[in-house]
Amino acid sequence: MSLNGQVVVATDVTRRYGVGDAAVNALAGISTAFERDRFTAIMGPSGSGKSTLMHILAGLDKPTSGTVELDGVEITALDDGELTKLRRDKLGFVFQFFNLLPVLTAEENLVLPLSIAGRKPDQAWVDQLVRTVNLEDRRTHRPSELSGGQQQRVAVARALVSKPAVVFADEPTGNLDSKSSAGVLDLLRQAVDEFGQTVIMVTHDPAAAAHADRLITLRDGELVHDASPGSADEVIELMKQID
């Protein structure tokens, strides 16, 4: 266990793409930490490095220098097998495109991480998740028979089913209308408040960021702002200043 209930700690993380003159510094040296049971939003203009940061925090990408500690494990040095196990046990993901398997039913998609790990799902917990995402009458439907919002709610439930240390959400509302977006964001909020989950979300939607406890803002690979987000309008104002 890390100190102060910090579940993710990034230290001097840099990420450079390309070599020589053409090299781009996507991350210029970021140090930050994320506490448990908190909902953090990461924002920034295009090319600010927000997605890169999230990918590195989640072990999907490796930093050029610096370290990332996730739930007490230094992850930047892990090999593929160890990372796979880490993702299985400690991470949940929600992607912009719903990324459900079209061949499985809603419930099968929901328990997919457990099936992959070969674990038996806790049926009470699964039932509770199905109730929470309000899909009790859609359990046996295939993704093609669900609306975009419903699909994304399944994806959120899927990220929660293994009770991970951190849930990473990459533009989870990027492909949804405002009503469906609100549903998904409420769900993420609920995950933090009721289930004690830690959520880190990359978004460019100020309304989404307003649901978070904390807002980190990046520009040109540097951390330029770190505070409570306030209302959606305040976030819009903040983003204008940064741009």
Partner 1 sequence: MTSLALKSLWARKVRAMTTAFAVVIGVAFIAGSYILSDTIFAAFDEIFSESLSGTSVVITAKNPVEQDNGEVPTISASLLQQVQKTPGVKLAAGAIFTPGGFFDSKGEKIGSKFAPKFISSTLPGKLEALKYIEGHRPRGPTEASIDKAAAEASHLELGEDIELIGQGSAKKFQLVGFTQLGSASFGGTSIAQVTLPVAQALTHKVGRFDQISVAAVDGVSPALLKRRIAAEMPSGVRVETGTESADRASEEIRDNLSFLQTFLLVFGFIAVFVGSFLIFNTFSITVAQRVTEFGMLRTLGASRRQILSTVLSEAVAIGLFGALVGIAGGFLIALLLNALLEAFGVDLPTTSLVMESRTIVVSLLVGVVVTFVSSLIPALRSTRVPPIAALNAFVPTPSRRRRLIYAGFSILLGVAGLAMAVAGLVGGGGAGTRAGLIGAGALVSVIAVSLFSPRLVPPLATVAGWPLERLRRLTGRLARENAQRNPSRTAVTAAALMIGLALVTFVTVFAAGLKSSVATVVDENFAGGLVIQNSDGFSPIPNGTATAARKVPGVESVATIRSAQAKVVGSGAGARVTAPTPNIGESLNIEWKQGGPEALRGLGDGQAILSDSFASSNGLEAGDSFRLLTQTSKRPSFEVTGVFDSKLNVLGSVLITQPVLARDFSQTQDTIDFVTTESGADAATVQAILTKGVEVAFPTAEVLNQEELKESREEQVNTLVNLFYALLALAIVISLFGIANTLALSIHERTRELGMLRAIGMSRRQVRTMIRYEAVITALIGAILGMILGVVFAALIAQPLKDEGFTLSYPIVSLVALLVLAGLAGVLAAILPARRASRLDVLESLQYE
Nearer to partner 1, 57 or 238 (CB): 57
Question: What is the Cα–Cα distance from 142 to 94, expressed in whole angstroms?
Answer: 18
158 is an interface residue for partner 1 by CB under 8 A: yes
Output the smallest distance, CB 62 to partner 1, in A. 10
User: Cβ closer to partner 1: 68 or 238?
Assistant: 68
Nearer to partner 1, 89 or 127 (CB): 89
Q: Token pair of 181, please?
A: 């977006």
Asked if residue 84 binds partner 1 (CB under 8 A), the reply is: yes
Q: Is the dihedral of CA 158, 163, 167, 172 positive or negative?
A: positive
Q: Answer yes or no: are the C-beta atoms of 154 and 135 closer than 8 Å.
A: yes
Asked if 117 touches partner 1 (CB under 8 A), the answer is yes
Q: Which of 184, 218, 191 is nearest to 36 (CA)?
A: 191
Should residue 163 be labelled a site residue for partner 1 when binding is judged by CB under 8 A? no
Q: Can you tell me which of 103, 124, 240, 243 binds partner 1, judged by CB under 8 A? A: 103
Measured CA to CA, the distance from residue 191 to residue 49 in angstroms comes to 26
> Considering only residues 1, 20, 46, 118, which one is a binding residue for partner 1 as defined by CB under 8 A?
118
Residues that bind partner 1 (CB under 8 A): 55, 60-61, 80-81, 84-85, 87-89, 91-93, 95, 97, 99, 101-104, 112-113, 115-118, 158-159, 162
